[in-house]
Chains A and B, each alone.
Chain A
Amino acid sequence: MRAATTSLPEALRPLELLQGKVTPGSLDDQVLRFPAERPPRAWYVALAVTLTALGIGGLCICWTLYYGIGTWGNNRPVAWGFGIINFVFWVGIGHAGTLISAILFLLRARWRNAIARFAEAMTIFAVICAAIFPVLHTGRPWFAYWLFPYPNERALWVNFRSPLIWDVFAVTTYFSVSLIYWYLGLVPDFASLRDRTAEGWRKRIYTVLSLGWRGAASHWVHYDKAYLLLAGLATGLVISVHSVVSFDFAVSLVPGWHMTIFPPYFVAGAIFAGFAMVVMALTVVRKTMNLSNLITDNHLDVMNKLILAMSCIMGYAYVMEGGTAWYSANPYIQHTFLNYVSGFYGWAGITTITCNIIIPQIFWFRRMRRSIPAMIFVALAVTLGMWMERFVIIVISLHQDYLPSSWHKYVPTKIDLGILLGSFGLFFTLVLLFARVLPVIATSEMKASLPAEKEGQP
């Protein structure tokens, strides 16, 4: 009945997604033991490092709150500096998680099962890191609730025509939806944890969080439907969120910003940056938590292929941007694009192109896709390149636009850099805590695909 896959040439056989014998029981033992065990020393060392970074960031945030946005490097005309760069960067990183968990679920790509939980968690943490920046950059963040349309004593409403309000709705929705999606996926795993744990405060917490889940088939029917619907909705959402972020720039008249390709270009860039972060984190996680039999080299291979694909899409977008800038015969746009690669900040544009387009091309070679040092190098390059790309778009376009008398350079302050460092610290602190407390792999999803794995189903 089942097709014989062994007669196929090796290149056409379905990916081996498990190494060695994996049963549902062994899966539980391997993945669910971490919440119960003490973590190794390396975890504490890593946490110390990330907490230090977080602390520095926290201090800089307090400094900003006390003394105001003047402590940042923003000026006129570069009124958007590190604040927005970091916001777009972190929101982008979150997109890979939703792509892996939602879009790849819709596409029935089974290799996503081992990495979906981790990726979704990264999405939520990335959105938390991202949300800090728009809230802080308002200057008086204690009034941040003014961004929401509630009836107030000033008889004022928000300006629904502004992309900044679209952002408020988009990021809020993205965070809520990701949280719900992540939590729903966790419910069966909490049930597993509940039933593995001896009586005590831990078991009570798991019991509450599992909502009394018992794996009833009548429940799975609705659960599966909800999961499928959420995957579809999250797919639409993830594309819309970064498109709305791109609208922040594209609806304006700033040269270099008003390019119609921005929405899909930003979405592709977000997925690109996010995958790099996921690959980087997973190489570390699978080594330190001994999960290489579940997160195999094949998983990393496929993710690196996706990174390569995104890099090619980004290349297309860069060519289109530059080409259309020339084609437009608009001297302001042309001046801006020349500024991207030459001029005072030209090094940023060159870095962007090198890191985003040139370096990932090594992934055309299978050996590079399966080499841990190579993929960490590429992932770091892509992370740097994508951050630099936002820097290029925001700072270079703003610092020299239409009126030469307004031109002014932008230099970030130590506070800017400190908050950026702190956001990385926050992100990795949350990742470390997540790995300590919650199951890193969605065991219930993995178990569902084990029978098919055994039979070599595509």
Chain B
Amino acid sequence: MSSATFAVLGLFSDAHKIVDAANQIRPRKLGRLEAYTPYPVHGLDRAIGLAPSRLGRLVMFMGVIGACLALLFEGWVSAVDYPLVTGGKALFSWQAFVPVMFEVTVLFATFTAGLAMLFAFNKLPFFGHPVLHSQAIKGITRDKLALSIEASSAAFDAEAARQALIDNGAESVEIVPVPAWDRPLSLVGLLRTIAGIVAACVVAGAGLFAAEKLIPIVPPMIHMHNQPKLNAFHESAFFVDGRGMRPAVAGTVARGHLPPAFATPEEAGTLLSNPLPLTQSIAERGRRVFNDHCAICHGLVGNGVPLLSHAYGGKPGNFLSNEIRARPDGHYFGVLMLGKNAMPSYAADLDHDDRWAAVHYIRILQRAQNAKDEDLR
């Protein structure tokens, strides 16, 4: 037990009396004045010389910060980082950002008000204050109002303070000593605290990690993994034949592969003409198609000399012959689509543009092998 006095407390029951007492005692400068009351007493803060709280300015500042941060964040998210037009609204649709901005402002301001008031301004939590261990505290939080003259210097006169309080109407006086700290913050205590925090973090972290790994793989979280839907290449109990992948219904026509509107190549020759213009790119496409699909039988120059042997017994047409040269483009198209003799239909192999490009190329081959003198000038 230390012999130094921390403060002298005078207990009152009446709010007016304590304010009057504070007004009387303050000019006498007996020590630092403080009061401990179960509720805020009107006028007491001024009587003991307290300045008004500056909390308001801090809260407003933090509120404005919150507003700006919210607006900037919303704008950055919606207009810069991942710009997505939703509902036809502009990317920086400030009208839509206002509600969240307001909420974040209030959030920042409130947390500042509450936490700053407790931690910064009032320095709470703090469990070691001498008054908490006094006799008077039971009355203070119940119905007694305590005026405290605290020792602010070595020259503190506890007796004078006591007398002043009694003179001004205090019902009782208590002298509160400075608590003795015979054990300062010990290393063991500190280590234990740190160990406790670390242990808590490890346990919490392990728990979260386990939860994060475990939760996604237990029901009901996995219910969406096994959905009653068709998966590619899987069987299906829904259909009688058990097939998941269904064949096309008879008569299905693929895009770009409408069945031809002609019955014979001659009819095609009268109906159709080459719709593609003869350009460099189409000519090269035609060459590619011809070399890939046609040259095997008709030869690279279209003369009917196949690149393969005659083993299969077919006689491919000679594009350079007069008879075939005289036929119209549509006829070539018709043979390509319907097939002729040993030649199968190439309708499935080639799309519309490929077919007509090949026809262009055949004409080019014919022209090349029947060049005239004028072509060279």
Chain A in direct contact with chain B (Cβ < 8 angstroms): yes
Q: Quick one: CB contact mask for B1-45 with A, threshold 8 Å, 1 for yes?
A: 000000000000001000000000000000000111111110011
Within residues 77 to 94 of chain B, which ones have a CB less than 8 A from any CB in chain A?
77-78, 81-82, 84, 86-87, 89, 93
B38 touches A170 (CB 8 A): no
Q: Is B364 located at the chain interface by the 8 A CB criterion?
A: no
Q: How far is the CA of A220 from the CA of B89 in the complex (A)?
A: 49
Q: How far is the CA of A192 from the CA of B139 in the complex (A)?
A: 9
Q: Is B125 located at the chain interface by the 8 A CB criterion?
A: yes
A448 touches B40 (CB 8 A): yes
A180 touches B114 (CB 8 A): yes
SS class, residues of chain A in contact with chain B: helix
Chain A residues, CB < 8 A from B224:
140
Q: Is A382 located at the chain interface by the 8 A CB criterion?
A: no
Q: Is A389 located at the chain interface by the 8 A CB criterion?
A: no
Q: Is B312 located at the chain interface by the 8 A CB criterion?
A: no
Q: Is B220 located at the chain interface by the 8 A CB criterion?
A: yes
A225 touches B127 (CB 8 A): no
A240 touches B59 (CB 8 A): no
Q: How far is the CA of A139 from the CA of B223 in the complex (A)?
A: 11
Choose one: A161, A226, A443; the contact of B96 (CB below 8 Å). Answer: A161
Chain A residues, CB < 8 A from B215:
142
B110 touches A230 (CB 8 A): yes
Chain A residues, CB < 8 A from B86:
159, 161-162
Choose one: A208, A216, A233; the contact of B35 (CB below 8 Å). Answer: A216
Given contacts A173-B106, A229-B113, A240-B102, contact A221 B220 (CB under 8 A): no
Q: Is A38 located at the chain interface by the 8 A CB criterion?
A: no
Within residues 121 to 135 of chain B, which ones have a CB less than 8 A from any CB in chain A?
121-122, 124-129, 131-132
A215 touches B104 (CB 8 A): no
B99 touches A247 (CB 8 A): yes
A223 touches B56 (CB 8 A): no
Q: How far is the CA of A162 from the CA of B86 in the complex (A)?
A: 9
Chain A residues, CB < 8 A from B128:
212
Choose one: A25, A156, A214; the contact of B129 (CB below 8 Å). Answer: A214
Interface size on A, residues (CB 8 A): 71
A212 touches B126 (CB 8 A): yes
Q: How far is the CA of A5 from the CA of B377 in the complex (A)?
A: 125
SS class, residues of chain B in contact with chain A: helix
Given contacts A25-B143, A149-B73, A240-B106, contact A140 B113 (CB under 8 A): no
Best-buried of A66, A208, A212, A247 by chain B (most CB within 10 Å): A212
A68 touches B129 (CB 8 A): no
Q: Is B158 located at the chain interface by the 8 A CB criterion?
A: no
Given contacts A217-B50, A226-B113, contact A447 B39 (CB under 8 A): yes
Q: How far is the CA of A226 from the CA of B221 in the complex (A)?
A: 44
Q: How far is the CA of A222 from the CA of B142 in the complex (A)?
A: 21
Choose one: B35, B87, B118; the contact of A217 (CB below 8 Å). Answer: B35
Chain A residues, CB < 8 A from B142:
24-25, 28, 192, 195-196
B39 touches A180 (CB 8 A): no
Q: Is B173 located at the chain interface by the 8 A CB criterion?
A: no
B126 touches A169 (CB 8 A): no
Choose one: A181, A183, A212, A445; the contact of B132 (CB below 8 Å). Answer: A212
Q: Is A46 located at the chain interface by the 8 A CB criterion?
A: no
Interface residues on chain B, size class: 35 or more
Choose one: B35, B89, B103, B109; the contact of A169 (CB below 8 Å). Answer: B103
Shortest beta-carbon distance from A176 to chain B in Å: 7
Given contacts A140-B221, A161-B86, contact A166 B99 (CB under 8 A): yes
Given contacts A221-B50, A233-B109, A233-B113, contact A216 B78 (CB under 8 A): no
Q: How far is the CA of A149 from the CA of B97 in the complex (A)?
A: 14
Choose one: B35, B111, B127; the contact of A176 (CB below 8 Å). Answer: B111
Q: How far is the CA of A192 from the CA of B142 in the complex (A)?
A: 6
Q: Is B251 located at the chain interface by the 8 A CB criterion?
A: no
B107 touches A213 (CB 8 A): no
Q: Is B74 located at the chain interface by the 8 A CB criterion?
A: yes
Q: Quick one: CB contact mask for B32-76 with A, threshold 8 Å, 1 for yes?
A: 001111111100110010101101100100000000000001100
Shortest beta-carbon distance from A189 to chain B in Å: 9
Q: How far is the CA of A314 from the CA of B27 in the complex (A)?
A: 58
Chain A residues, CB < 8 A from B122:
218-219, 222-223
The 3 closest A-B pairs by CB, nearest first: A24-B143, A226-B117, A211-B125
A28-B143, A68-B220, A169-B99 given. 20 additional CB < 8 A pairs? A24-B38, A140-B221, A142-B215, A157-B78, A159-B84, A166-B99, A166-B100, A169-B104, A195-B141, A212-B132, A215-B37, A217-B48, A223-B40, A223-B117, A225-B117, A234-B110, A237-B106, A240-B102, A240-B103, A444-B39
User: Which residues of B approach A to under 8 Å, CB–CB?
Assistant: 15, 34-41, 44-45, 48, 50, 52-53, 55-56, 59, 73-74, 77-78, 81-82, 84, 86-87, 89, 93, 96-97, 99-100, 102-104, 106-107, 109-111, 113-114, 116-118, 121-122, 124-129, 131-132, 137-138, 140-143, 215-216, 219-221, 223-224
Q: What are 29 A-B contacts with C-beta separation under 8 Å?
A: A65-B220, A67-B220, A140-B221, A149-B73, A157-B82, A159-B78, A165-B100, A176-B110, A176-B111, A180-B114, A181-B110, A184-B114, A212-B127, A214-B140, A214-B141, A216-B35, A216-B131, A217-B36, A217-B44, A219-B122, A221-B40, A221-B50, A223-B40, A225-B52, A225-B53, A236-B106, A243-B99, A244-B103, A444-B39
